Structure 1
Amino acid sequence: MANVSKRSAFRMLSGLALLSVLGTTVLAGCSSNDGGTNTNTNTSTNAAGNKSEGSKTEDGNYNPEGLPIVKDPITLNVLTIRWGSMGDTFTKNAWLQELEKQTNVKINWQVVSSNDWGDQKSVMLASGKLPDVIIGDIAFTNADIVNNLSIFRPLDEYIEKDMPNLKAAMAESPELKKLSTFPDGKIYSLPARLPSRPVSSVQPVINKQWLDKLGLKEPTTIDELYTVLKAFKEQDPNGNGKADEIPYSDSGDLDMNFLAPFGITDLRANHMVVKDGKTEYFPTSDEYKAAMEWAHKLYAEGLIDKETFTQDNTMLTAKRQNPDASLIGFTYQWTPDAVFGQWSKEYEAIAPIAGPDGNKYQLGEPNGMSYRRNEVLITTTNKYPDETARWADQFYTGEASIQNFWGAIGTTIKKESDGTYTLMDPPDGTSADAWYWDGSLRDFGPKYASPEFEKSIKLDPTSGDGLKLQLDNLGKEFVTEPFPDVMYTAEEYADLPTLTTDIDSYIASTRAQWITKGGIDEEWDGYVKKLNDMGLEKLVKIYNDAFARYQELK
């Protein structure tokens, strides 16, 4: 599921009749009524100044400390989105079921496929019929929240009085609070820190079997990479007697990670990089121009697949998993076994490739690829905000976090006698990653695995998450400072789509032209001028203003 963790785009369903059915499905049971009469009378003011019901501690049912959270059971309607056809098997997680017993907070899970969510979300926001809680950061984006603040409850006061685990986590890892603070200075969603995540994101992956057959060493510079790719094309490394080897291939566009040797590491996919603490829009930089010239040289010599800019991902996958022989020589992936099917064992990750300046650059997060925002939202229609906050706080311990990332202790995780934790082997015929998704919230939901707690987690270094941590050693020292995961104001969110749609499209089209046909020297000045005419200065100002606000947060 490595590609899933890249936040792939939702596929939208069309048709009014289908939309109506989908809306009815997700909206059913979205009130907070647990079947009894709610007697809560306290009120709180939401972001729009409206009054909404809050927990009444005086009625004797709510326990502000200890467990159970309430003496008589209550029910919360909790919405979460799952990738594709994953379904709701995670709800059988033994830790989640035990939590219901310990807290007396019963959960009515409302599980929606990411395939359907785009339309359902629109219906939900338009209707105002909301669940009590939303789990997972693919449900609502930053823009969704900023543009609908009246329906999401500010959580600062609840963190302070109801969430000692999260409060302690924020003190230990200030990034959690910084990441969760919206432009108005309030926190509307809860964060997560996932366990045992690497510093590096995708890394260079090469066909090691081809290298060995041709007597070549792993490339360390762009000149060595050129030599290797040329040998891959010309010397029949797959041994089938055909000139069918493809040194490098992609779908729809050139993967920006291919330009990493030039210092281009675009973690947020917004064309912004940070160098020495200062931001830069790289498509107008000298480095980008040099990268285009280099890529054109490779393309002109057939070292980049001629179909890179025209094929879709299905066509690329067919090449990567060609049944007769391996066809692809070089790529960037999360792990070497991510996309090559039966040929996976031929590939290995290598250290970053040094660029023209002699330096190596690796995409990633210096603080680790661990931090998430928008993992829990509490709506203003939720009649039990204190109880809900205390329920969510139970997730912010080490043991809770690993059980909601891999699966329950005794089912997926073994707790050893020395206090360490190891992962069990998945059932035959099931990949480890699929097993973890089946049995846990995995990437989604509240978590906090502290750096100290992570020391007690022992992962198999030959597969899955343990393998990624091993591969991380190849490139983590070269990870660049990424443009941070900033927040924008409502006004900025209104301007961004208009600006980025045209600008990004123009950049992509000129990139394809320069790589396939050349001509960048003659066209560069006109290209930069057109970008400025399209509003690039305003776009960069939005990015820089958000960056400055983020830097000021503590």
Structure 2
Amino acid sequence: MSKKMLSSMAAMTLLVGALSGCGGGDSSKPQDQAAKPGDTANKEERTLRVMANVIGGKTPEENTQFEQEVKRLTGITVKWEKPSADYDQKMLAAISSGEKFDLLQVSKEKMNILMEQGVLQPLDAQIKASKTLSDPNVLPTGEWEQVKAKDGKIYGVFTKFQGGTMPIIREDWVQKLGLKDPNTLDEYYNVLKAFKEKDPDGNGKADTYGLTFSGKPDLYELQGFFSAAGLKQRYVVQDGKKVVPYATDAAVPVWQWLNKLYKEGIIDPDFVNNDTGKMRNLFLGDRAGMITYWDAWVGTLNSTRLQQDPNTKFQAKGLPGVPGPDGKYMLRRGDPDVWIIPVNAPHPKTAFEFIEWWHSKDGITLGSIGIKDVDYKDNGGKLELTEQGKAHAQDHGTPFWYNKNVPNPFGLLPGVKEAQELVVKYATLEQTPSNWADANKIINTYGIKAITGELPAADAVKKMRDELKAQKLID
């Protein structure tokens, strides 16, 4: 077991002790619906202590301005704590030492761990009573299934719309070479081979690859291809047993297909050393015709090239991957990011009031565009980004949101809407237990060996499966 995992487990044990010894009321009894700003029925002091990972200012100075903007817009005095690194470890350490927070921003994975420890307040009653959060135009009804815990209760409320991953193709290269978007593994092979061999960038040099992705720190992101075999990333439960589909015999043909691309020089041979930044740069720099990444980046990639050259023909486009034997596409949905309220929160009603406000127009504006007169100017209702706002790319923790009543005043970046529609239609969450990091290390190691041909795909899959079993990571 990794030192990081042992550290997290130790912190979690301390956390339970700390919370159980702190006053916070009976967590089995939900709070009343939160009061709105100015509601005298809310007898709590309207102040909050918040710890967040990506939500807030981009710098310590802007974080202070973020606190001031919350105060201006809601009347709530807030202390906004945003560690610069190692968020999960610092959050757990702070709570386990007895510190009290009103709101925490966490992933669904961390929410589930904290819920199992009994240190979170269930929010079902408040959500049901909330005109804001129960409105399907604000938060679609079906989305709540994503954050239901094993006990059927809801302990977290979405901070944003979380997208998914997919193959992203140079659609301008497709059109230039007289091709069509691929839909089967054979069609992907043919298109990617053409990107390698037919000089799609027109520079007369054999310097392009069909596909690149990130191999560091993780082998990332192949779900769109494994969809061809009907295989889901990470864990699934089959006949009551925990299984890693990428480590099953059904995965062998996909690993073999990837190895074929690698042997023929269609995959960037340095993918093992690529982080996501290098991967993106190869795509933006006309070196690779396809990457595998998040839907939001379709728009960012297009916008980046447009800013460099308004007349560019560059066009990134998201694809649904390859349909499986049942004809269905299978993309990956990112774990939801949620607000949670600890059982020992000093101001739980005000915390829930803030969660409701976060999904209002003002809350969404702050979480996306940013701070008035810092990130944007309001000229009689017409918003204009400052240079700082442009640099912050309309992302202060909520680049995309659910609320249909709040349009983006600047519109969506090119290609994002279509990519997000693919996510909503075809992407689902996978199971991510607390020991996933250990399993992922094994999958990465043997997955890379299978792609590069260091081991035959069948042998790599067998070794992958044997090690997962040996470490009791699968049944």
The TM-score normalised by the length of structure 1 is 0.62
- Aligned pairs for 1:164-175 (under 5 A) are 164-165=130-131, 168-169=134-135
2:47 is aligned, of 71, 75, 96, to 75
> 1:108 is matched with which residue?
79
Output the CA distance in 2 between the equivalents of 1:133 and 1:336.
Answer: 36
Distance 1:84 1:257, change over 3 A: farther
- Contact in 1 for aligned 2:108/2:147 (Cα 8 Å): no
The 3-state SS of whatever aligns with 1:204 is strand
What runs of 5+ residues in structure 1 fail to find an aligned partner?
1-11, 13-45, 56-62, 417-421, 539-554
The partner residue of 2:287 within 316, 319, 327 is: 327
Q: Is the Cα–Cα contact under 8 Å of residues 300 and 516 in structure 1 kept in the other structure?
A: yes
Give distance in 2, aligned partners of 1:73 and 1:458. 33
Report deviation, 1:329: 1.2
The gaps in structure 2 that reach 5 residues or longer are 5-16, 27-33
The answer as to 2:229 corresponding to 1:259 is no
Contact preservation (8 Å) 2:51, 2:81: yes
Q: Distance in 1 between matches of 2:200 and 2:127?
A: 62
Q: Are positions 1:457 and 2:407 aligned together?
A: yes
Give how far 1:294 is off.
0.9
Distance in structure 1 (CA, Å) of the matches to 2:113 and 2:172: 47
1:145/1:271 CA distance change after superposition, 3 Å:
closer
1:87 aligns with 2:55: no
Which segment drifts farther, 224-233 or 74-83?
Answer: 74-83
Distance 2:452 2:361 in 1: 52
Q: Is the 8 A contact 2:183 2:323 kept in 1?
A: no
Aligned residue for 2:258, secondary structure, equals helix
Query: 1:18 — aligned with what?
Result: none
Q: Aligned partners of 2:73, 2:221: CA distance in 1, in Å? A: 43
Q: 1:107 to 1:534 in 2, by over 3 A?
A: closer
Distance 1:271 1:186 in 2: 22
The Cα shift of 1:472 comes to 3.8
Cα offset for 1:262?
1.4
Structure 1 residue aligned with 2:70: 96
Q: Give the distance between the partners of 1:173 and 1:215, measured in 2 at CA.
A: 40
Give the structure 1 partner of residue 8 of structure 2.
Answer: none
The question of 1:436 aligning with 2:394 is answered: yes
Q: Please tell me whether the aligned partners of residues 372 and 378 of structure 2 are also in contact (alpha carbons under 8 angstroms).
A: yes
Change (3 A) 1:263 1:482: farther
* Structure 1 partner of 2:426: 479
Alignment equivalent of 1:226, drawn from 185, 189, 192: 189
Equivalent residues, number: 435
Amino acid in the other structure paired with 2:222: M
**Structure 2 partner of 1:359:** 327
Instruction: Identify which range, 173-182 or 344-353, moves more after superposition.
Output: 173-182
Matches within 5 A, 1:154-553: 154-156=121-123, 159=126, 164-165=130-131, 168-169=134-135, 179-180=146-147, 182-183=149-150, 189-192=155-158, 194=160, 197=161, 201-252=164-215, 253=219, 255-263=221-229, 266=232, 270-272=234-236, 281-313=244-276, 315-322=278-285, 326-333=286-293, 334=295, 335-339=297-301, 341-342=304-305, 346-354=314-322, 357=325, 359=327, 361-364=329-332, 372=336, 374-378=338-342, 380=344, 382=346, 384-389=347-352, 391-392=353-354, 394-395=356-357, 398-407=360-369, 424-427=383-386, 431=390, 434-438=392-396, 441-442=397-398, 449=403, 454=404, 457=407, 463-464=412-413, 467-473=415-421, 475=422, 479-483=426-430, 493=434, 496=435, 501=438, 503-517=439-453, 519-521=456-458, 528-538=465-475
1:397 and 1:65 map into 2 onto residues whose CA distance is 13
Which of residues 93, 102, 105 is equivalent to 1:136?
105
Task: Label 1:48 to 1:183 Cα distance change in 2 as closer, same or farther (>3 A).
Answer: farther
- Work out which structure has the larger RCO, using CA pairs closer than 8 Å and 6 or more positions apart in sequence: 2
Q: Is contact 1:256–1:264 with CA below 8 Å preserved after alignment?
A: no
Q: Distance in 2 between matches of 1:227 and 1:309?
A: 23
Equivalent residue letter for 1:141: K
Distance in 2 between the 1:505 and 1:78 partners? 33
**1:40 — aligned with what?**
none
Alpha-carbon distance in structure 2 between the residues aligned to 1:129 and 1:456: 36
Verify the 8 A CA contact 2:168 2:317 in the aligned structure 1. yes
1:281 maps to amino acid: V
CA distance in 2, matches of 1:406, 1:223: 41
- Cα distance 1:400–1:532, how it changes in 2: closer, same or farther (>3 A)? same
Change (3 A) 1:471 1:153: closer
- Determine what percentage of the aligned residue pairs are the same residue: 18
SS in 2 for 1:328: coil
- Deviation sequence 1:470-508 (CA, Å, 0-9, x none): 3445x35861554367xx7xxxx5xx36xx51x433332
Q: What secondary structure sits across from 2:156 in the alignment?
A: strand
Residues 134, 377 of structure 1: 8 Å contact kept: yes
Using the TM superposition, give the Cα deviation of residue 336 of structure 1 relative to its aligned residue in structure 2, in angstroms. Answer: 3.0
Deviation of residue 351 (structure 1)? 3.7
Q: Please identify the structure whose Cα radius of gyration is greater.
A: 1
Q: Could you tell me how far 1:295 is from its partner in structure 2?
A: 0.9
TM-score (ref. length: structure 2): 0.71
Quote how far apart the aligned CAs of 1:309 are.
1.8
Deviation of the 1:431 alpha carbon? 3.7
* CA RMSD after TM alignment: 4.8
Which SS does the other structure have where 2:368 is aligned?
coil
Tell me the distance in 1 between the aligned counterparts of 2:35 and 2:385: 40
How far off its partner does 1:375 sit?
A: 0.8
Structure 1 residue 96: deviation in Å?
2.6
Residue 4 (structure 1) aligns with: none
Letter in structure 2 aligned against 1:519: P
- Whole-Å separation in 2 of the counterparts to 1:480 and 1:74: 39
